[in-house]
Amino acid sequence: MDRRSFVRAAGISSLFLAPGFVCAAASRIEFSKPEPHQPDELETAVMAEFGAGFRVLEYRLDSQTHHARIGHLGNEYLVASDNLRAWTLLASSIR
């Protein structure tokens, strides 16, 4: 694959991702600051999945799903998990 084809493919793939980012930005989820007893288990689960540099900025428990806004080096990510082991990336804001 030459450079021109790669740039063209990257541009086309970004068009497919744009609606997802718009929907994620439109659906604002209310969060709360982590309570003192929660960060240990939550921070451990986030670090196990994403790496040591990530920290929990906000946290919300919606029925059985854990939603968290996490940060790393100024970037923020919205993630969700049902069991604190398998996390799904819902949105990101790369700065």
* pLDDT, tens digit, 9 for 90 and up, residues 75-95: 888 888 888 888 888 888 876
Q: How far apart are CA 68 and CA 16, in angstroms?
A: 25
* Number of C-beta neighbours around residue 85 at 10 A: 9
In the chain, the amino acid numbered 37 is H
* Number of C-beta neighbours around residue 55 at 10 A: 13
Please tell me the pTM assigned to this model.
0.56
DSSP H or E run through 7: helix 3-26
Confidence of residue 68 (pLDDT cuts 50, 70, 90): confident
